[in-house]
Amino acid sequence: MPEWLEWLTDMQYTKPVALVIFFVTFVGILIYVFTGKKRGKRLESYKDIPFLDDDQETKVSEKDSKDG
């Protein structure tokens, strides 16, 4: 087994490596979300999705009550 793999199997070294991996992933996600104007506009349009679902359910229930 290569020496660098043996180094990773030691628990005292794997925790800092995992921390760096998760931190880099988190920063990458933040950069992805907050850059790009097209993506920003698309994400802004998503903020109304919960309210749109309520309106659609209300319209469906009103139609059902009128039909039934």
Dihedral sign for Cα atoms in the order 7, 8, 9, 12: positive
Give 6-43 pLDDT, tens digit per residue.
877 777 878 888 899 999 999 999 998 888 778 778 87
Band the pLDDT of 65: cuts 50, 70, 90. low
Q: What is the pLDDT of residue 64?
A: 56
The pTM score is 0.50
Give 46-59 pLDDT, tens digit per residue.
888 887 766 555 55
Which helix H or strand E contains 10, and what residues bound it? none
CB–CB of 45/36 below 8 Å? no
Structure tokens at 15: 């925790």
CB–CB of 43/33 below 8 Å? yes
Q: Where are the domains of the chain?
A: 1-35, 37-68
Q: What is the pLDDT of residue 27?
A: 96
